[in-house]
């Protein structure tokens, strides 16, 4: 029943051992980042040959060749933008290519180089692409990738979402010589946004909620979904929400008390292709009392487009179109 006395030192030793390992991992981990960071400028300076030109990006400057034959993309947003610009890529990462990116699911045509989070470094080493593009989920792998091949990292700045999308689009356009196309896309996006903005401000406050595995978290201005508030002009129902990658954990009571006129729901489980239970989660006695529910203004945003692709220029366009659609419809209470 009771442990023998001599077991305690043993257990304590084990505990200290675990703590030491944990500490070691913690201490050793950051050393990964600084080393290649120092190598990055050197990278920018030395290779690239005469034909290249420097491209400034989120993590420095990289000399990119003028004639790109082999391009590997580790960011769905970048892939989305390249797709819109009409640029062919030769390699992608991940397994799941939703919506407008469906064609990249063909693994024969577009070889895989690992996942968005974990690049297959050996495959990249073997392929020696002319350019690797990281961003968002793969930004942390920039240092390692740039040691293998010229790499540019797309910016993710949630606080300036639209500027980021535009800047990223322009960067990719300049790398691939598609400035004309980019200008047209950006122009048209800006126009559509300013059209939408005229309707949103007067139509009530919105709350952005992400559901995942039966839990909810709320996102506000400046967050990864803050584009709805800051660029589309939807007044936030909870202005105090601070920006954070994973939002703020909330319960239904928070939604009831915030009482938004619009509830924008991102079903993370559905985004990654695993069913999803946002409707079931939200359909409860508290949320049903909100004005968003009563007016039938609970909007389930295209989850893959919003959650996975994010920041690509087509993706933002699609998000904008979805919101424009629901705002264009007259109010129609649907809740029974």
Contact residues: another protein, CB under 8 A: 1-3, 5, 8-9, 11-12, 15, 96, 212-216, 218, 248-254, 256-257, 268-269, 272-277, 280-281, 284-286, 289
Q: How far is the CB of 335 from another protein (least distance, A)?
A: 17
Distance of CA 311 to the CA centre of its chain: 6
Q: From the CB of 119, what's the least distance to another protein, in Å?
A: 15
- φ, ψ for residue 160 (rounded to 5)? -125, 65
Q: Which is nearer to another protein, 114 or 150 (CB)?
A: 114
Burial of 308 (0-12, 13-18, 19+ CB in 10 A): buried
- 3 Rama sector, left if φ>0, alpha if ψ -120 to 50, beta otherwise: beta
Q: Which is nearer to another protein, 268 or 318 (CB)?
A: 268
Q: In the chain, which residue ranges form alpha helices assigned H by DSSP?
A: 7-28, 34-45, 76-85, 121-127, 142-146, 161-176, 179-200, 227-230, 252-258, 268-271, 278-282, 291-294, 303, 313-328
Give the shortest CB-137-to-another protein separation in angstroms. 11
Q: Residue 136's closest CA among 158, 103, 114? A: 158
For another protein, the closer CB: 11 or 66? 11
Reduced to 3 states (helix: H, G, I; strand: E, B; else coil), residue 6 is coil
**What's the token pair of residue 148?**
């293998």
- Least Å distance, CB 67 to another protein, is 36
CA distance 157 to 57: 12
At a CB cut-off of 8 Å and minimum separation 6, what does 159 contact?
Answer: 222, 226, 243
**For another protein, which is the closer residue by CB, 219 or 232?**
219
Nearer to another protein, 13 or 33 (CB): 13
Residue 256 Cβ vs another protein, minimum distance, rounded to whole Å = 6
Could you tell me the smallest distance in angstroms from the CB atom of residue 266 to another protein?
A: 13
Q: Return the number of other C-beta atoms located less than 10 Å from residue 173's C-beta.
A: 23
Q: Of 2 and 67, which CB lies nearer to another protein in the complex structure?
A: 2
Smaller CB distance to another protein: residue 175 or 301? 301
Q: Which two tokens stand for residue 149?
A: 């091949």
Q: How far is the CB of 43 from another protein (least distance, A)?
A: 31
Shortest separation between residue 112's beta carbon and another protein, angstroms? 14
Structure-block tokens of residue 36? 């290649």
Given the complex with another protein, which of 145 and 250 has the nearer CB atom?
Answer: 250
CB of 72 vs another protein, minimal distance in Å:
20
**Nearest to another protein of 129, 222 (CB atom):** 222
Q: Which residue, chain included where needed, has tokens 């996006």?
A: 189
Rounded distance between C-alpha atoms, residue 275 and residue 325, angstroms: 25
- φ/ψ region of 204 (left if φ > 0, alpha if ψ in -120 to 50, else beta) reads left
Q: Are 156 and 140 in contact (CB under 8 A)?
A: no
């Amino acid at each position: 029943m009771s442990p023998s006395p001599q077991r305690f030192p043993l257990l304590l030793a084990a505990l200290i051992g675990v703590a030491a390992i944990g500490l070691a991992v913690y201490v050793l981990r950051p050393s990964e980042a600084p080393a290649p960071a120092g190598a990055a400028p050197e990278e920018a300076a030395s290779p690239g040959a005469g034909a290249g030109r420097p491209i400034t990006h989120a993590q420095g400057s990289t000399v990119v060749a003028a004639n790109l034959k082999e391009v590997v993309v580790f960011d769905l947003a970048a892939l989305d933008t390249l797709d819109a610009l009409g640029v062919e890529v030769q390699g992608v990462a991940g397994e799941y290519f939703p919506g407008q990116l469906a064609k990249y699911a063909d693994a024969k045509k577009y070889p895989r180089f690992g996942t968005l989070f974990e690049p297959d470094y050996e495959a990249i080493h073997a392929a020696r692409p002319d350019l690797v593009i990281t961003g968002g989920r793969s930004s942390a792998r920039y240092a390692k990738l740039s040691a293998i091949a010229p790499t540019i990292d797309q910016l993710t700045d949630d606080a300036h979402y639209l500027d980021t999308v535009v800047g990223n689009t322009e960067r990719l356009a300049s790398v691939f010589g598609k400035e004309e196309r980019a200008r047209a896309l950006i122009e048209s996006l800006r126009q559509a946004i300013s059209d939408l903005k005229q309707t949103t401000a007067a139509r009530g406050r919105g709350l952005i909620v992400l559901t995942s595995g039966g839990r909810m978290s709320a996102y506000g201005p400046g967050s990864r979904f803050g584009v709805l508030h800051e660029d589309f002009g939807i007044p936030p129902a909870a202005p105090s929400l601070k920006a954070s990658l994973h939002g703020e954990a909330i319960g239904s009571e928070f939604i009831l008390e915030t009482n938004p006129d619009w509830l924008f729901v991102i079903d993370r489980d559905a985004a990654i292709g695993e069913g999803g239970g946002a409707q079931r989660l939200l359909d409860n006695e508290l949320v049903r009392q909100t004005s968003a529910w009563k007016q039938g203004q609970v909007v389930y945003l295209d989850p893959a487009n919003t959650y996975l692709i994010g920041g690509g220029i087509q993706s933002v366009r699609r998000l904008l179109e979805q919101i424009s659609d629901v705002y264009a419809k007259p109010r129609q209470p649907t809740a029974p």
